[in-house]
Structure 1
Amino acid sequence: MKTLKKRNLFILFFTAILTIMLLATGCNQKQINPKTREDFDAFTKEVFVDQVQSDSITLNYTLSKPEKYGIKNFTPTLGEYTLEENEENLVKYENYLKRLKDFDYDSLTKDQKLTYDILKESLSLNLNLGKYPLYSEILSPTIGFQAQLPVLYAEYNFYDKEDIDDYIKLLNCTDDYFKQIVAIEKEKSKQGLFMNDTAVKDIIDQCNTFIKDKKNNLLITVFNDKVSSFKGLTKDEIRNYKKANKDAVLTSVIPAYENLISELSKLKGTGKNAGGLCNFKNGKEYYKLLVQSETGSKKSISELTDLLEDTMNHNIAKMQAIVLVKPDALDAMEKVKYKLTDPKEIINYLKTAINKNYPALNDVNCTIKYVDKSLQDFLSPAFYLTPAIDNYADNSIYINKSEQFDQSTIFTTIAHEGYPGHLYQCVYFNEQNPAPIRSVLNFGGYTEGWATYVELDSYSLAGLDKSVASLLEKNMAATLCLYARVDIGVNYEGWTKKETGNFLLKVLNTDDDKTVNEFYKSVVEEPGNYLQYTIGYLEFNELRDKAKKQLGDRFVLKDFHEFLLKTGPAPFDVIDNRLDSWIDAQK
């Protein structure tokens, strides 16, 4: 009874204090204008509708029913890839930013303030990156536009008959768009900013592999299957669609790749830089912006370098400590066998296995598909295709069955792409009904960082020996840091291939030419790519450590994950600011 009385007295005392505070500040409190909130929603919707119509692929993958957003009679297009378009976009972003800053921030809701902060940073960064239009590279062997386009075409959504018509029209835009790419590459060559010969060869090899079997190209075979099973079409319509699609592939898509091969072959040898971005004039300045864009981190390059080296050394030391106590664990790690190897079984298992530390998610569909043979050599081991925001119950994960990838160790890859990785994070966020503008703002550091963060956590869910699971996790973390460190070394510090080899010899105790070449080539051809995985993962670790330190026994990992997932993709400084409020609420 004494405790109850004290508790009641505290409530009364707190209420009195709160009343006094309200009376003291009420006269000076700023009036909230509801119209501001309505105008802000209208503004962000306007930006969303404009951005989502930049090209047909963005529109198709973002909305299943664009007409609900007033988008009708959209002309199929791959967009524009010209210097003039870049200038127009910069003017547009400046206008958006000016209009955004005109809103009274204090009058916005909590969610609107979050959108405001995210949009402001995104627009500002795009404006800065837009000053270097010839430094970015749309072509690369694995994540380049020409490598990704076949999958994006193959998975183009047919929600109704009109989508099929639009798709065929879109295929016929391919040749013109590739010509715009070639024009930019020629300009890069003139300005001394063209890629090196190794990158040219790898891109040409990828293109040749894709178009090798013209009559049985995957865009023909996949389309035939899709249109045959599409409900409501007559036999004549199916036959006509198949012919129209085949004609478009043979007269626009494949010629576009053939022309790209021819033009790149002509440009081969004009690249003046066989190394990292920093070897170009203003390359360091561009790389710093690229890193910020890829990672969502505001840390300086030197801070990132220290973080990577410290984390790498920490994990290596932890691995050594485990092996000292349990020497057999190292051999077991190298010969590890996962209990589950079937992707569907892994997904079903992880759906429930993650319940302890991750918030519940409504059940959604997930179709496992396999990468076509013509793309296997150049695509990732697996990838998840983000669904439309108004149709996020249907999801797809692609598995690459190339011999270069060990399918017996696919457990953690499925965790990365599925549960609790990309699929889980994407669906959970969409369930919060966020502002549509959030869906067209790209934050690879958050999305890939989250998927990497949970992938490392999944080793503990795989049913492995604890020591082996810990070794695998720490080995993966150290390897990620190693790649990211080489990326910075080559692209910012100017490491040569020899200097890269010396660094790997120091860390890995190997100077194998194949290993050195793999590291060096990957970060030269696709700079910053590894950083979004690694730095994103490390930023999440820092957020978790901060919350654990301040909350102590009150820290609940599941609740922390819920906070991250509800906040959604954003720059990490924006998330960190919200974390302070979340921590206070937990206290």
Structure 2
Amino acid sequence: MKNAKKRYLLCLLFILLVMIPSCRKSTEDVLNTREVFNQLTNELFLKEVKSDSISLNYTLANPENYGIHEYTPTLGNYGIDSTIEGLASSENYLERLKEIDYDVLTSEQKLTYDILEYLFIQDNSLDNMLLYPESLSPTLGIQSQLPVLLAEYKFYDKEDIDDYIELLYCTYDYFKEIINYEQAKSKDGLFMSDYIADEIIEQCNAFTKKKDNNLLISVFNEKISTFSGLTKEEIKTYKTQNKKAVLENVIPAYNLLASSLTKLKGTGVNDGGLCNFPKGKSYYEYLVKAQTGSSKTIAELIELLDNTMNNNINEIQKIASSNPDAINKMLQVTYDLQDPNEILDYLKEAIKEDYPPLSDVNYTVKYVDDSLEEYLSPAFYLTPALDDYKENSIYINQSPKYDMSSIFTTLAHEGYPGHLYQCVYFNQQSPDPIRSILNFGGYSEGWATYVELESYYLAGFEKDVAALLEKNNAAILALYARVDIGVNYEGWTFDDTSSYLKEQLNLTDKETIRNFYYAVIEDPANYLKYTIGYLEFLELRDKAQTALKDDFKLKDFHEFILNTGPAPFEIISKRLDIYMDGKS
């Protein structure tokens, strides 16, 4: 019996030994699989950057180096048909992705695979809510962003100038597509409220009020006058062509948008948050996940935000109790540096202890045109081309409604170690090009918010004062995000919001409350990408500190986050586990 059993085991061992080589992929097969994956990501990258000329111009300074030699200037397509086509494309790419042997990919390829799979699955969850996305809003809408995007359009050679002028002639037709989409929303009972429409109409009118000295004329004239290699006659011709395009196509497009929205006014049936629409809650859940990159449920986010507010308020009370003078100093805090360039130069040096090194790059601080001040953010960073990331632009909005006394932390958010630093650092790692165009607001805005609050400790304040500023702003951020969820998911009315803000902040000014209430309706989930992104980074840092104990180094953690790059937080967390295993 024993011999029979032994012969059986030997036979089984022989079979396994024969099978093992046949199960292993040869080196050639492994390399082929990796190449197939690279081909897929490259195909996807080219498809995305060629879909509209602004994306192409902002992404690549030298498209010919990526095999792009001929393309037609376009602003892309907008509407239900293009959305359906995009969803079908995502489903197709997901199927192709699943055919690839994940196990033989490199570590970086696996990361890209995980991110793409996450995005394709997320896209497919939108298929029954095609009329819920909104491209128009007073601050983040295409009509408010487009003038700045066009003003910053890069002229690398004469062909770019020709393409740009041709692109301007696409504006009218593109806006017509947006209007058709808004009309479809109106018929389905999903059109915006009158007060949002009024703000956008007013914004369009402000932009078109300037004609001969319109932003897109004055900026173009300045750029073209200093463009190397043009004759005086060519400069004159280009200026004439651009002015004609702006006056005959761009401004009429904005006038058309304003008049069309005016006609649609009164068809909006919802003056409150998203949840008041039939599928509003489901769409808000989709939007929160897309905006934040967090896998937490809405209930979990509410608990996280409530705990964040309470914990930070408790910390503030502890500091105030042990150091009463710190509160007065916080309330009267001033920053020694006020000049934007001096602040950025200072921050570049101040971050070296806790953040990995970054090669020198150029940055230009610019100011928002006065015709756009009322509607744009206090400041913003425009991402550079991935093959020309040494040239960077930060815009500052000098509108009187924004407090420029705290420009120090704003520039930490937009510049060093915020958006500019994070974006350039990632590009310097030479990632797969597809990674550079995938947008994860929770990562990018979460990182910028995380370092903005850390910048209080770089400003030269006493430790307790810096801590109070950090805790106070963290609590306020959590409160903003909580109101966003309250209005858009739980159906808070203006009175509900007023009661909540009075209870939490003792805020009773109706105009301030109304502006805030409308802001979360105009751009639902926008506050969450800042706050939840920030809190997710804190959770990752706490996780690393708990696991690594004395081996934890803040600079190493920051380097891990920056090397990983923009991604959903559940994927970053899994990568962190692998990273910590290597440390232990």
Per the normalisation by structure 1, the TM-score is: 0.94
Q: Does 1:110 align with 2:131?
A: no
Partner of 2:273: 276
Distance 2:178 2:378 in 1: 27
Aligned positions of 1:73-222 closer than 5 A: 73-222=70-219
Distance 2:236 2:252 in 1: 23
SS in 2 for 1:355: helix
Q: Does 1:512 align with 2:488?
A: no
Q: Does 1:264 align with 2:238?
A: no
Q: Does 1:350 align with 2:347?
A: yes
The alpha-carbon deviation at position 27 of structure 1 amounts to 6.5
Q: Does 1:493 align with 2:490?
A: yes
Q: Does 1:415 align with 2:412?
A: yes
The alpha-carbon deviation at position 268 of structure 1 amounts to 0.9
Distance 1:55 1:123 in 2: 20
Distance 1:333 1:251 in 2: 53
SS in 2 for 1:563: helix
Partner of 2:6: none
Q: Does 1:327 align with 2:324?
A: yes
* Partners of 1:278 and 1:284 within 8 A in 2: yes
Q: Does 1:582 align with 2:582?
A: no
Q: 1:477 to 1:30 in 2, by over 3 A?
A: farther
The alpha-carbon deviation at position 509 of structure 1 amounts to 1.7
The alpha-carbon deviation at position 327 of structure 1 amounts to 2.4
* Structure 2: 5+ residue stretches without partners: 1-16
Distance 1:438 1:130 in 2: 24
Q: Which amino acid in structure 1 is aligned with residue 517 of structure 2?
A: Y
The alpha-carbon deviation at position 510 of structure 1 amounts to 2.4
Distance 1:409 1:505 in 2: 25
Q: Which amino acid in structure 2 is aligned with residue 247 of structure 1?
A: K
- Give CA-to-partner distance per residue, 1:65-112, whole Å, 9 cap, x none: 111122122100000002111111111111111001100000100000
Partner of 1:227: 224
Q: 2:363 aligns with which of 342, 361, 366?
A: 366
Q: 2:540 aligns with which of 523, 543, 546?
A: 543
Q: Does 1:298 align with 2:295?
A: yes
Q: Does 1:401 align with 2:425?
A: no
The alpha-carbon deviation at position 206 of structure 1 amounts to 1.5
Q: 1:148 to 1:130 in 2, by over 3 A?
A: farther
Distance 1:466 1:26 in 2: 61
The alpha-carbon deviation at position 378 of structure 1 amounts to 0.8
* Structure 1: 5+ residue stretches without partners: 1-22
Partner of 2:525: 528
Distance 2:116 2:226 in 1: 41
Distance 1:583 1:317 in 2: 31
* Partners of 1:154 and 1:222 within 8 A in 2: yes
SS in 2 for 1:274: coil
Q: Which amino acid in structure 1 is aligned with residue 499 of structure 2?
A: N
SS in 2 for 1:366: strand
The alpha-carbon deviation at position 440 of structure 1 amounts to 1.8
The alpha-carbon deviation at position 514 of structure 1 amounts to 1.7
Distance 2:22 2:335 in 1: 63
Distance 1:113 1:462 in 2: 40
**Which range moves more in the overlay, 504-513 or 33-42?**
504-513
* Partners of 1:417 and 1:423 within 8 A in 2: yes
Q: What's the % identity of the aligned pairs? A: 61
Distance 2:401 2:324 in 1: 29
The alpha-carbon deviation at position 512 of structure 1 amounts to 2.1
Q: Which amino acid in structure 1 is aligned with residue 570 of structure 2?
A: D
- Give CA-to-partner distance per residue, 1:157-205, whole Å, 9 cap, x none: 0000000000000011001100111111111010000011111111112
- Give CA-to-partner distance per residue, 1:540-570, whole Å, 9 cap, x none: 0000000000110000000000000000000
SS in 1 for 2:394: strand
* Partners of 1:129 and 1:290 within 8 A in 2: no
Distance 2:575 2:113 in 1: 13
The alpha-carbon deviation at position 30 of structure 1 amounts to 3.9
Aligned residues: 564
SS in 1 for 2:125: helix
- Give CA-to-partner distance per residue, 1:438-458, whole Å, 9 cap, x none: 122110000000000000000
* Partners of 1:122 and 1:441 within 8 A in 2: no
The alpha-carbon deviation at position 346 of structure 1 amounts to 0.7
The alpha-carbon deviation at position 28 of structure 1 amounts to 9.3
Q: 2:384 aligns with which of 384, 387, 399?
A: 387
Q: Does 1:312 align with 2:331?
A: no
Distance 1:408 1:522 in 2: 23
Distance 1:354 1:29 in 2: 50
Distance 2:300 2:166 in 1: 48
Distance 2:464 2:542 in 1: 22
* Partners of 1:486 and 1:519 within 8 A in 2: no
Distance 2:571 2:23 in 1: 25
SS in 1 for 2:139: coil
The alpha-carbon deviation at position 26 of structure 1 amounts to 8.0
